[in-house]
Amino acid sequence: MQIILVHPGLRQARTINIGRRTLISLALALLLVLASASGLLSYVTIRHAVQAQLPFAQDWLPAAEPVRMLSTPDEFMRHNIDALAVRLGEMQAELARLDALGERVASMAGIKRVDLGVLAAPPGRGGPLPAATDRSLTLEELTREVARAAEDFVEQSEELSLLESELLYREVSTRLVPGTQPLTDALVGSRFGSRIDPFTGRRVAHEGLDFSAPPGTPILAAAAG
C-alpha cells in the first residue's frame, strides 16, 4: 500500500510504503482500541443514565444489572479484555483451520497430504483450564497475542499465495503440452523416435508424427495456444 503526501510546502510529492504485515498489525491495533473505547463509553453512559433515573434508562434496568456488578472502571475494562480474549481465541481457531487448508492445497501440489475430515469438522478450541490456573489476560499479554495472530495470518497468506502460483504454473504447463491429435480421422504414417529414413535408408531420429489424410482435411490445435 502506498500513501502519497502532497503539500504546498513540499517541492515534490512524498510516497510512504506500508507493507502487508504492518497494515494488518495497525488494523488489529485500531480494532482493539475502538473496542475498548466503545466499551468504556457504553459503561459510563449507561451507569450515569441509571443513576440519574432517566425515563429512557428504565427499560434498560435488566440489562444494566451486570453493569452495576462492575462497580469500578478497572473491573469493566477487565470484562472487555476477557471478551476480546474470547474473540482472539476464535481467530486463532480459524487460523488453525486456515493452516489445515494450506496443508490441503500443499498436498494437491504434491508436497504433503492431510486428512479431509479435519477440514470438514469445526475448529477445536480446547477444554477449560483448571480452576487453579484460570486467570484473565493482562493488556500486555492480549497485545502480544494479537500481534502474534497478525504475524501468523500474514505468514499463512504468503504461503497460500506461493502455493497458488505453483498450481497455476503447473496448470499452464500442462495445457501447453499437446494432448490431442490435430486430425479427427487420420492414420499415423510415421511415429516419433528412431526410424529408417524413407529417402536415405539410414537410421535417424524423427522429431514428430506424420499423419496421412486426404487434402483439405481440417487441422485442429493439439494444445492451448
Residue 201 domain-assigned (yes or no) = no
Least confident interval from 72-76, 162-166, 202-206: 72-76
40 burial class (0-12, 13-18, 19+ CB within 10 angstroms)?
Answer: middle
Q: Amino acid identity of 132?
A: A
If one compares 66 and 89, the residue with the highest pLDDT of the two is 89
Quote the cell numbers at residue 85: 480474549
41 occurs within a structural domain:
yes
Mean pLDDT of the chain: 69
Determine the structural domain holding residue 62 and report its residue range: 21-127+136-174
Report residue 146's pLDDT band, with 50, 70 and 90 as the boundaries: confident
pLDDT class for 61, splitting at 50, 70, 90? Answer: very low
**Is residue 208 in a domain?**
no
Q: What is the pLDDT of residue 183?
A: 80
At 53 the pLDDT is: 57
Rounded to whole angstroms, how far apart are CA atoms 67 and 202?
A: 98
pTM of the model: 0.35
At CB < 8 A and 24+ separation, what contacts does 215-220 make?
A: 217/183, 217/185, 217/186, 218/183, 218/184, 219/182, 219/183, 220/180, 220/181, 220/182, 220/183, 220/184
Comparing C-alpha atoms, which of 73, 88, 86 is closest to residue 37?
A: 73
Whether the pLDDT of residue 44 is over 60: the answer is yes
- The answer to whether position 71 is within a domain reads yes
Q: What is the pLDDT of residues 83-113, one digit of tens each?
A: 777 777 777 777 777 777 777 777 766 665 4
10 or 168, higher pLDDT = 168
- Which of 90, 88, 109 is closest to 169 using CA atoms? 109
Q: What does the pLDDT look like over 201-211, one tens digit per residue?
A: 888 888 877 88
Angle between helices 139-176 and 73-108 in degrees, nearest 10: 20
**pLDDT value, residue 217:** 83
Q: Which three cell numbers stand for residue 222?
A: 493439439
Q: Tell me how many domains the chain contains.
A: 1
Phi/psi-derived region of residue 51, left when phi > 0, alpha when psi is between -120 and 50, beta in every other case = alpha
Q: Establish if 145 belongs to a structural domain.
A: yes
**Domain membership flag for residue 185:** no
Question: Is 142 within a domain?
Answer: yes
Number of neighbouring beta carbons within 10 Å of residue 169 = 10
